[in-house]
Amino acid sequence: MHIPDGILPIPITAGGYAATAAATWYSVRKIEQQENPRRHVPKASLLTAAFFVVSWIHIPVPPTSVHLVLNGLLGALLGYFAFPAILIGLFFQAVMFQHGGLTTLGINAVIMGLPAIVAHYVFRMRRLGNHDSRTRTAVFGFFSGAVALGISVAMFVAILLGNLPADFDPAIERAAVYTLAVAHVPLIAIEGVITALLTTFLRRVQPELLDDV
């Protein structure tokens, strides 16, 4: 899911940085509008660390393997804090794990960060009709985790297929991209379940963590 250096043309990577700058600015602005933004920093910081580490956890899905992303979980639990959290996590992943690259940091933040904000709004839908039950938390938690990763995979596929390189055989590359996308289908369900389990667990033991999201 992390696009490394040298894969995309410069205009796309530059556009990714521009979109990331705009999304970061908007997220910070929304964070500043909150009553007490500092209150969420510990939660955001710990989830940044979790996001950073989970990309190291590979799940074999023959003929390939995928790794956890958890951008939907961050979106559900952090709201607008998710975008800067994912950006920081991606930076450390690129520098230390060589997951992604510095030139593609912007486009990777778009691919994983923007769906996290969508997940935030999906998770908030559990409160529609002022009926916030455990079941609704689980259902919307599942969908926030699944939808975010689904959108990320769709964006990843669209960006790659829209920028197939001239020097490589496009048919082989296209088939490989589709294979990788299909391999993410089980992961979409897994991340939905993880998000549902964690949100319902937090709702039970520390409901104030879900108060503002």
Partner 1 sequence: MHTKWNIALCLLFLAILGLGLPTPALAHGARIQYTVNVAIELVATYDNGDPMAGAQYVIYAPDDPSTPWLAGECDDEGRFSFTPDSSRPGTWVVQVRQAGHGDIVHIPVGQDTTVAGSTGGYTTLQIVLMAACVVWGSVGTALYFSPRRRG
Interaction pattern, residues 114-153, with partner 1; x per rule: CB under 8 A = ----------------------------------------
Binding map of partner 1 across residues 160-189, x = CB under 8 A, - = no contact: x----x-xxx--xx--xx-xx---------
Of the candidates 193, 110, 197, 187, the one whose C-alpha atom is nearest the C-alpha of residue 155 is 110
Nearer to partner 1, 56 or 121 (CB): 56
CA angle 60, 63, 67 (to 5 degrees): 35
Least separation in angstroms between residue 205's CB and partner 1 is 17
Positive or negative CA dihedral for 151, 155, 156, 157?
positive
- Omega prior to 63 cis, within 30 of 0: yes
Q: Considering the complex, state which of residue 39 and residue 134 has its C-beta at the smaller distance from partner 1.
A: 39
Q: How far apart are the first and last CA of the chain?
A: 26
46: its two tokens: 């710990």
Footprint of partner 1 (CB under 8 A): 2-7, 38-39, 41-43, 45-46, 48-49, 52-53, 56, 58, 63-65, 92, 96-99, 156, 160, 165, 167-169, 172-173, 176-177, 179-180
